[in-house]
Copies of this chain bind each other. A is one copy, B any other.
């Protein structure tokens, strides 16, 4: 048997997870043009930016302005990342209806990324999730390094399940398991999804954030589909990467994922050819090639 869901959602994160490690900073107009082009290609969930301090991630400094100027379609979900209460306030002022907050399952990754211990992060995230949910915003709790940490290696499934249970108890609507270092494999995806699924209420949606660091991005997506996951993060051309692993490939490419899903009979609503053209525009703007495959093949192939 090879059972897959009938339809799924791809959340394109090019403009946040992708751009935040790039030297090039896109203008508000450019970001809005990319959002519109993705909408036109059928993408129905788009991460537009993140409400972080511009000192830490200058590429995201214009997220407030993007949200203020962006004409929002009723059939598209526009998401953003927030890291603290200040960011949450900015996001609410911008009427963002879907927010991601996230912590790392790895002590070392947590220390390096946020200068907080895992215990401190859990206290902090508790407050963030509660405020976001209380504000009536669809809230996603992310678990970074869920499938392994570039510093620590293996991560305990129990720790991931504990964080998932916490998110659930605070009313989070979605839990995102992130393979930040590209260390997942199809078997570990299958097992982790089953374990987390069993640990949280049925009302909680599970989603996967997959990196193609070791060439297993789409294999992991298929394992996720087989395990019943129906929301996956991706980026144009596979933009993104891992700040700790130079030259590492980034997210699964939205156009490659959309093509694979279409070929397997899973609906996404996306015209992968339009996205492949858009990925080429993005790499031209950024001045370097992106790892996605279909963008570089003859369009008829």
Contacts and interface: CB of A to CB of B under 8 A. Distances in A.
Interface stretch (A12-20, A61-69, A156-164, A213-221): A213-221
Contact of A190 (B2, B190, B217, B223): B2
Interface string A208-249: 000011111111011100100000000000000000011111
How many copies of the shown chain assemble into the complex?
2
Interface in A176-196: 181, 185-188, 190-191
Contact of A215 (B4, B292, B298): B292
A263 B188 contact: yes
A253 B188 CA distance: 21
Contact of A214 (B191, B214, B223, B256): B256
A112 interface: no
Contacts of A222: 186, 219, 222-223
Interface of A: 2, 4, 150, 181, 185-188, 190-191, 212-219, 221-223, 226, 245-249, 253, 256, 259-260, 263-265, 292-294, 296-298, 301
27 contacts: A2-B187, A2-B226, A4-B187, A150-B301, A185-B260, A185-B263, A186-B219, A186-B222, A186-B264, A187-B264, A188-B264, A212-B293, A213-B297, A214-B256, A215-B217, A215-B218, A215-B253, A215-B292, A216-B260, A219-B222, A219-B260, A222-B223, A245-B297, A245-B301, A246-B298, A247-B297, A249-B293
Given A187-B265, A188-B264, 17 more contacts: A2-B190, A2-B226, A150-B301, A185-B263, A185-B264, A186-B222, A186-B264, A187-B263, A212-B215, A214-B256, A215-B260, A215-B293, A218-B218, A219-B221, A222-B222, A245-B301, A247-B297
